[in-house]
Structure 1
Amino acid sequence: MAVQSFSFFSGALYARKVCQVYLPPSYDASEDTRYPVIYLLHGLNGDETSWLVKGGAEAQLDRLMGDGTLRESIVVMPSDGGYGHGTFYVNWYDGTGRFEDYFLYDLMPSIDREFRTIADRSSRALCGLSMGGYGAFVLALRNPELFGAAASIAGALMSTGLMTEQFLRSEVSRLVGPVHGPFARELDLHVLAARMLREEQRPELHFNCGFSDYLYPLNSAFKALLDQLNYPHDYAEYEGEHNWDYFGGHLAEALAFIERSFAGAPAGEAPAEIG
């Protein structure tokens, strides 16, 4: 079976967690071959099965690896941490949970120990939809030494400067804290992207969104910012709404971008230390 459930303990959340792991067709044929790893993130109200059940991810991965659009890779579909409607894959201001720590210091090392990954930023990428699109970008921009590329499909590409008063009075305030405070700045994609201009390593970025998607203004605003910063990126927009027809329909595009980012990656590198 190409997809298997993998459980591990999270010290950050003090809980047993489960993720779904897609293993490439040749994985069992050799005990020496190592593979790039892609983390495929779900959206709000989702879980580690969402991409499989609703997005047809397994069939798409079989097809893309079969026709060479995507090289054989390990694809990990994790939970965001399982709190409330969604965690956004970050540590929360109010101390509710350390969901970035769970991802970086529990999930990723467990995957690198259990499976034959190439544990190097050049062979490690993130991809996500909606909340997971934000998660992919915020994790990559905050940790460019760990991720070489990130892709967002109809992502919630948030900046505190674009949040409405109603939005700030929602559960989001528990996540970011005071909108003008230092904690919120560390989760603001506009701030993080600008900061990357000073870094030698910066993640390659792809994002796409539908014109009829309620998150389209956030995507177009982020594109305008990247254009202003001269931050190289790959962006596309289409007709489409915020639904699984769009998410699943544009997964192949995001993964083809990740393949291009992998194209210059060295093979068989020694695992990088995390933590």
Structure 2
Amino acid sequence: MAIVPFSFFSGALYARKVCQVYVPAGYREAEDKRYPVVYLLHGVNGDETSWTVKGAAESTLDVLIASGELTESIVVMPNDGGYGHGTFYANWYDGTGRFEDYILYDLIPAIDREFRTIADRTKRSVAGLSMGGYGAFVLALRNPEIFGAAASIAGALMSAAMLTPQELRSDILRIMGPVHGPYAKQLDVHVLAAQRIREELRPALHFNCGREDFLFPANQAFQELLNQLGYEHEYMEFEGSHQWSYFGEHLPDALRYLERSLHR
């Protein structure tokens, strides 16, 4: 078990980027073995080291793999693109940056080339906290041919219809454009879930949130929507607020679900 820094070039952002990659024990010795991949996304003001430095991700992965609760896996912890306070892993309406393209067409192919991954949606999942929870769901719902499952921990599961006037004066409008416009709908988790339920190929979804979290109402609203749609999912509520003690404690809940969903 080791964390390996991995650098690659992003054509979408025209920049050199670095991610942290967890490789399981025996990776270097088992030269013919290939592994499932989990992409683990950070939140606002974070970077590729956030999950290991603040969220104890390495020790969590060690314990889950040793106990058999998680298959030996490669876990990739990327930077969101490094623009402003956070990119939300989306291609911005105002043209600032193509941060979804950076993940899909630069990061994932680079990981599949460099590491012995199982390069298939049935063995590739994405998870994240807060902004990264939103990013995980939007990436998976928009690209179910790439991700078979997604998990959100205290995610910013936004719908344009739920945004407050204060939020509309932030970078959100730079990301999604006019709230009632077609571009905003492409980045709205409520709209995306409703579109995906009509199609056979859709990602498995897990999300959890603390009851004292300011994002708790948004998570409840998304759960209600999925129930109305009949979209199969797992939703969990716990005591806790929007802080690293919660994120780290409930990372195992997300990883266990991804394990179950990709082995059904």
TM-score by length of 1: 0.95
Q: Which letter maps to 2:111?
A: I
Aligned to 1:34: 34
Paired with 2:22 and 2:225, the residues of 1 have a C-alpha distance of 35
Paired with 1:118 and 1:125, the residues of 2 have a C-alpha distance of 11
1:1-275 to 2 correspondences below 5 Å = 2-264=2-264
**C-alpha distance after superposition, 1:209-228 (max 9, x if no partner):** 00000000100000000000
Q: Which letter maps to 1:134?
A: Y
Q: Which letter maps to 1:17?
A: K
Q: Which letter maps to 2:72?
A: E
**C-alpha distance after superposition, 1:222-262 (max 9, x if no partner):** 00000000000000001100000000000011000011012
Q: Which letter maps to 2:81?
A: G
Paired with 2:95 and 2:162, the residues of 1 have a C-alpha distance of 24
Q: Which letter maps to 1:182?
A: P
Paired with 1:104 and 1:74, the residues of 2 have a C-alpha distance of 17
Q: Which letter maps to 1:26?
A: G
Report how far residue 171 of structure 1 moved: 1.2
Report how far residue 194 of structure 1 moved: 0.2
Residue identity (%): 70
Report how far residue 138 of structure 1 moved: 0.2
In structure 2, stretches of 5+ residues that fail to align are none
What SS does structure 2 have at the residue aligned with 1:207? strand
Aligned residues: 264
Paired with 1:258 and 1:233, the residues of 2 have a C-alpha distance of 11
Paired with 1:262 and 1:186, the residues of 2 have a C-alpha distance of 26
The alignment's C-alpha RMSD in Å is 0.7
What SS does structure 2 have at the residue aligned with 1:29? coil
Report how far residue 26 of structure 1 moved: 2.1
Paired with 2:197 and 2:135, the residues of 1 have a C-alpha distance of 20
Paired with 2:25 and 2:123, the residues of 1 have a C-alpha distance of 18
**C-alpha distance after superposition, 1:144-181 (max 9, x if no partner):** 01100000000000000100122111111101100000
Q: Which letter maps to 1:65?
A: I
Q: Which letter maps to 2:6?
A: F
What SS does structure 1 have at the residue aligned with 2:72? coil
Q: Which letter maps to 1:94?
A: D
Q: Which letter maps to 1:151?
A: A
Which stretch shows the higher mean deviation, 166-175 or 229-238?
166-175
Report how far residue 31 of structure 1 moved: 1.1
What SS does structure 2 have at the residue aligned with 1:116? coil
Paired with 1:109 and 1:263, the residues of 2 have a C-alpha distance of 23
Paired with 2:75 and 2:41, the residues of 1 have a C-alpha distance of 10
Paired with 1:138 and 1:194, the residues of 2 have a C-alpha distance of 12
Q: Which letter maps to 2:116?
A: R
In structure 1, stretches of 5+ residues that fail to align are 265-275
Report how far residue 30 of structure 1 moved: 1.3
Paired with 1:246 and 1:180, the residues of 2 have a C-alpha distance of 34
Runs of 4+ in 1 over 6 A off after TM superposition: none
